Chains A and B, each alone.
Chain A
Amino acid sequence: MNGFLALIARDLRLARRQGADVAMTLAFFVVVVALFPLGLGPTPALLARIAGGVLWVTALLAAMLSFDRLFQQDADDGGLDLLALSGMPLVLVALAKAVAHWLTTGLPTVLLAPLLALTLDLPAAAYPALVTGLLLGTPTVSLLGTVGAALVVGARRAGVLVALIVLPLTIPVLIFGVAAVEAGGAGLPIQPHLTLLAALLAAAIPLAPLAAGAALRQAVE
């Protein structure tokens, strides 16, 4: 357990000292969201209609940017081999990495999303659904991304590859996340969609680290 917390603390410390990485992900999130009003025309009714989908899709893409480096840096400097030798189960290593990834990219995205929603004219009634949905959905994305990141350690063009692998797996999260925002905006109950998002998270917490741990085992062999 100590190793688990120490690994999270180490990743957070690394993220703080190389602050540019986190800032770049958030800047990407903001820039891409800003492209939509420019590309589709600034009609408030149209933007309000698509805001939920735009924020969710962009949040997914922003998360993809950071996955290729999740294990690659450790694999390059030998840290991954030390982690494998440390006796800590690789499942826990993967879980710690996922937690650290969510804290450094998922959580800032969730905090930034309501601000960007303002610029897209999202109906006020949809905000609780947007924020709760992202809070439940982005950890699942981080967990799935950990699997992809562990699979592509040492691969050529790992950045594109990890997006190609992980994005199809995140489709259920996207569907229910956007459905919750839509329901919130229309004044319908949002709880069914949020419950499904919570169910996906509950399934991903044990299963994704298991797969990621197996993938890491293959990577360090």
Chain B
Amino acid sequence: MHRFANPTRFLRLANALLPWLTAAAVLLLASGLWLGLLRSPADYQQGETVRIMYVHVPAAWMAMAGYTTLALSSLAFLVWKHPLADLSARAASPIGAGFTAIALVTGALWGQPMWGTWWVWDARLTSVLVLLFLYLGHMALTNAFDDPERGGRAGAVLALVGVVNLPIIKFSVDWWNTLHQPASVLRLGGSTIDPAMMKPLFLMAGGYLAVFGIALILRIRALYAERRLRQLRLSLTDA
């Protein structure tokens, strides 16, 4: 991991990865959307609205994956003072917040025809809303200090405190009797989804993951450039 503490080496790898990720994102999203929206069967109960699943469920997975990235980067930053981990944590939180917002909005659009309501205060929805607040709190805290280093460290501690929310989100549908349906893909005893729906779902999830990777690399690059600029400006004013 320390090999990538050198920003030049990291940027070389990231730049080499970027075209591949872009191609993967385009292919996976295009095939996933085509299969999901046009070629997969409608649900026997939900009818055509089940197709919202192909944008909603991967977004929710990415919301959790984004927080995991944020937490792991924060841990690496606090434990090893890894300079790029700070940038990766700062880069991950707005992306994760974006996916969380997509999951909440598509969930509301799905809830309206299926449950007859845009929003209910059940355990899954509430815990995902808390996840959004944690992302927003992290973004606000990291940018609240004149010294960016101090902001990064405070944000890292907050990100690790917020990890308690992740198992609550995952298991909220099992622990409480919620309106949100229980887990049907990642569960003990195998998935309960038909393979015809599973395939586009996983293609979309792969596409979302690639988009997440692209956004993360672009943001880390931008943050690195910003940090370089600030250092240059400071060295100019000192001279």
Taking Cβ atoms with an 8 Å cutoff, the residues of A that contact B are: 147, 151-152, 154-158, 161, 164-165, 167-169, 171, 211, 214-215, 218-219, 221
Q: CB distance B141 to A218 under 8 Å?
A: no
Whether, in the assembled complex, B215 has its beta carbon less than 8 Å from a beta carbon of chain A, the answer is no
Q: CB distance B144 to A155 under 8 Å?
A: yes
Docked complex Cα distance between A155 and B154 (Å):
10
Docked complex Cα distance between A152 and B141 (Å):
7
Interface band, chain B: 20 to 34
**Nearest-Cβ distance from residue B30 to partner chain A, whole angstroms:** 37
Contacts of A219 in B (CB 8 A): 150, 154
Contacts of B136 in A (CB 8 A): 164
Q: A155-B154, A211-B160, A218-B157 are in contact. Are A168 and B144 (CB under 8 A)?
A: no
Selecting from B14-22, B59-67, B126-134, the interface stretch reads B126-134
Q: CB distance A215 to B157 under 8 Å?
A: yes
Q: CB distance A161 to B153 under 8 Å?
A: no
**Nearest-Cβ distance from residue B97 to partner chain A, whole angstroms:** 13
Contacts of B158 in A (CB 8 A): 151, 165
Considering the complex, give the chain B residue whose CB is closest to the CB of A172. B168
One of B130, B146, B153 near A218 (C-beta < 8 A): B153
Interface string of B137-148 (1 = CB under 8 A from A): 100110011100
Find residues 145-171 in chain B having any chain A CB closer than 8 Å to their own CB: 145-146, 150-151, 153-154, 157-158, 160-162
User: Which of B140, B145, B157, B160: most chain A Cβ within 10 A?
Assistant: B157
Docked complex Cα distance between A156 and B136 (Å):
16
Q: CB distance B133 to A218 under 8 Å?
A: no
Find residues 52-81 in chain B having any chain A CB closer than 8 Å to their own CB: 78
Q: A164-B137, A218-B153, A218-B154 are in contact. Are A169 and B161 (CB under 8 A)?
A: yes
Task: List 28 interface pairs A-B (beta carbons < 8 Å), by A numbering.
Answer: A147-B161, A151-B154, A151-B157, A152-B144, A152-B154, A154-B145, A155-B141, A155-B151, A156-B145, A156-B146, A161-B140, A161-B141, A164-B137, A164-B140, A165-B137, A165-B140, A167-B133, A168-B133, A168-B137, A169-B162, A211-B161, A214-B157, A218-B150, A218-B154, A218-B157, A219-B150, A219-B154, A221-B153
Contacts of A156 in B (CB 8 A): 144-146
Considering the complex, give the chain B residue whose CB is closest to the CB of A210. B161
Considering the complex, give the chain A residue whose CB is closest to the CB of B158. A151
Please report the number of residue pairs spanning A and B whose Cβ atoms sit closer than 8 angstroms.
56
Contacts of A161 in B (CB 8 A): 137, 140-141, 144
**Nearest-Cβ distance from residue A56 to partner chain B, whole angstroms:** 15
Taking Cβ atoms with an 8 Å cutoff, the residues of B that contact A are: 78, 126, 130, 133-134, 136-137, 140-141, 144-146, 150-151, 153-154, 157-158, 160-162
Q: CB distance A168 to B150 under 8 Å?
A: no
Contacts of B153 in A (CB 8 A): 218, 221
**Nearest-Cβ distance from residue B41 to partner chain A, whole angstroms:** 39
**Nearest-Cβ distance from residue A64 to partner chain B, whole angstroms:** 13
Docked complex Cα distance between A154 and B162 (Å):
21
Contacts of A157 in B (CB 8 A): 144
Contacts of B78 in A (CB 8 A): 214
Q: A147-B161, A156-B144, A164-B140 are in contact. Are A171 and B154 (CB under 8 A)?
A: no
Q: CB distance A165 to B130 under 8 Å?
A: no
Q: A152-B154, A171-B130 are in contact. Are A165 and B145 (CB under 8 A)?
A: no
Considering the complex, give the chain A residue whose CB is closest to the CB of B155. A151
Contacts of A218 in B (CB 8 A): 150, 153-154, 157
Contacts of A221 in B (CB 8 A): 153
Contacts of B137 in A (CB 8 A): 161, 164-165, 168
Q: CB distance A215 to B133 under 8 Å?
A: no
Other A-B pairs, 15, CB within 8 Å; known A147-B161, A155-B144: A147-B157, A151-B154, A152-B141, A161-B144, A164-B137, A165-B140, A165-B141, A167-B133, A169-B162, A211-B160, A214-B78, A218-B153, A218-B154, A219-B150, A221-B153
**Nearest-Cβ distance from residue A143 to partner chain B, whole angstroms:** 11
**Nearest-Cβ distance from residue B144 to partner chain A, whole angstroms:** 4
One of A155, A168, A215 near B145 (C-beta < 8 A): A155
Q: CB distance A171 to B140 under 8 Å?
A: no
Contacts of B145 in A (CB 8 A): 154-156
Considering the complex, give the chain B residue whose CB is closest to the CB of A213. B157
